[in-house]
Chain A
Amino acid sequence: MTLALDAVPRLWRLARLDYNPVRERPVLLYPEGAVLLNDTGKAILELVDGRRTVAEIAATLSERYQTDVTADVTEYLSRLAERELIQ
């Protein structure tokens, strides 16, 4: 299942983006689980606000990184959606 470009992703209500100083890593926390994130994952999730579309998130990051990251962003969010961490 791949998210459509015009889908508006939002974080699962129970999940919280956080930073773990011990691991020096951003982390997505939710009941009974956690995903350790890299900087790219964090950059994507910080733009997931329930208003921006996948396309808008990808456009923002493509501009920031000066390269088209649409496929990566879509895949990343789709993977989290499969785990129901993104809705």
Chain B
Amino acid sequence: MTTHERPTTLLAELTHRCPLHCPYCSNPLDLLRAESEIGTEDWKRVFTQARELGVLQLGLSGGEPMVRKDLEELAAHARGLGLYTTLVTSGLGLTRKRAEALRAAGLEHVQISVQDADPVVAERIAGVSSVKQKQAAVALVKELGFAFSINVVLHRANLDRIGEIIDLAADYGADRLELANTQYYGWGLKNRASLMPTRTQVLEAKEIAQERMQRYKGRMQITFVLPDYFEELPKACYGGWGRYYIVVAPDGRALPCHGAYAIPSLELPNVREQSIGWIWHESPAFQAFRGDAWMREPCRSCPRKAVDFGGCRCQALALTGDATNTDPVCALSPHRHLIDRAVREQADEYVYRDYAEPQRA
């Protein structure tokens, strides 16, 4: 067995239930219902075991974690263990009473999603009236003194307003702003055709983001993640398979990344039956793509294999049909044309389809 690192991060997907219906959601198409969710004591045990294994960061996520009635209890347990905990929320359900209880429980950091600076588009994306509730949640988070991040998923319908979105986050008083271009997993992959931006949009957005990073330096940290479809090199997904990250699904299944549901050959261990320590060190799922023994060419002989680990296994599977293939984003992948086609078709369909490629019409 190859030696491996201690995990740093546990993402607890407490539930798949969510009042929002965002078409880019990275949750699997098969959403779990409330009755299959694991209980409070299960989660506490998982947090304790994760801490013992070396985890430093905890994400309380979902779905919408606020739908869990035991969230305050879980946050208190996490704080008692010394974990740096982030609540990843839409803001819906974050009432004054619950926000105060979470603060009292020792929760440090709240991340609220914003869909767009334009409230009409924001609610069209979320599929539900939500902007007013988010504004109220933002005000509470500021008033109670939480560390505060905003995250925005970028795609064709909001990318042109990236400047306004950044300014809105600054107005909201965010300490951090994560601008993440849509990743095409789960619902995101299903809706790829309607979400894919044009190359021009992406490049212009990047420029605006860089300008705003300077403008807000020292006041709000901005991260802008370029969409991998527009890159030549694949992303080092989660810093490598089974290297730093553990995701636990609402039903207790443990995954090396939150897209790994989609790899049918993986036998996912469950925290109901196994300890986090066994899952990390011993489970076949966490070892499946750890290290480089599983790699094929062009990865196997590539000098970058210890840098990007062959990219994303879920993307390789979803687009090429085999999780051991090189991530098709890589310019060296024999499947790169699948990425280029997805980008090109989109740009054409939305703007110049007939002119750019009349033979395809």
Binding site for B on A (CB under 8 A): 13-14, 16, 18, 20, 22-23, 27, 29-34, 84, 87
Contact = CB atoms under 8 A, between A and B. Distances in A.
B108 interface: yes
A14 B53 CA distance: 24
Given A14-B147, A18-B82, A32 B57 contact: yes
Contact of A22 (B53, B149, B218): B53
Nearest to A34: B56
B84 interface: yes
Interface string B1-38: 00000101000000000000000000000000000000
A22 B52 contact: yes
A16 B57 CA distance: 12
A32 B52 CA distance: 19
Given A14-B147, A14-B175, A84-B221, A34 B54 contact: no
A87 B54 contact: no
Contact of B218 (A32, A33, A87): A87
A31 B221 CA distance: 11
B57 A34 contact: yes
Interface of B: 6, 8, 51-54, 56-57, 82, 84, 86, 108-109, 111, 147, 149, 175-176, 217-218, 221
Given A22-B52, A84-B221, A31 B82 contact: no
Q: Which of B51, B84, B175 has the most CB of A within 10 A?
A: B84
B359 to A, nearest CB: 45
A13 B53 contact: no
A84 B109 CA distance: 17
Contacts of A20: 54, 56, 82
Contact of A14 (B8, B57, B176, B218): B176
Given A14-B175, A23-B6, A30 B53 contact: no
10 contacts: A13-B147, A18-B82, A20-B54, A22-B6, A22-B51, A29-B57, A31-B84, A34-B56, A84-B217, A84-B218
Contacts of A18: 82, 84
A30 B176 CA distance: 11
Nearest to A27: B56
B84 A29 contact: yes
A78 to B, nearest CB: 15
A25 to B, nearest CB: 10
Contact of B109 (A14, A23, A34): A14
Contacts of B149: 31
Contacts of A30: 84
A16 B56 contact: no
A24 B46 CA distance: 21
Q: Which of A14, A20, A23, A84 has the most CB of B within 10 A?
A: A14
A13 B173 CA distance: 13
A31 B109 contact: yes
B57 A23 contact: no
B108 A16 contact: yes
A26 to B, nearest CB: 12
Interface pairs A-B: 8 shortest CB-CB: A14-B147, A29-B84, A22-B54, A34-B56, A31-B109, A14-B175, A84-B221, A31-B149
Q: Which of A13, A30, A84 has the most CB of B within 10 A?
A: A30
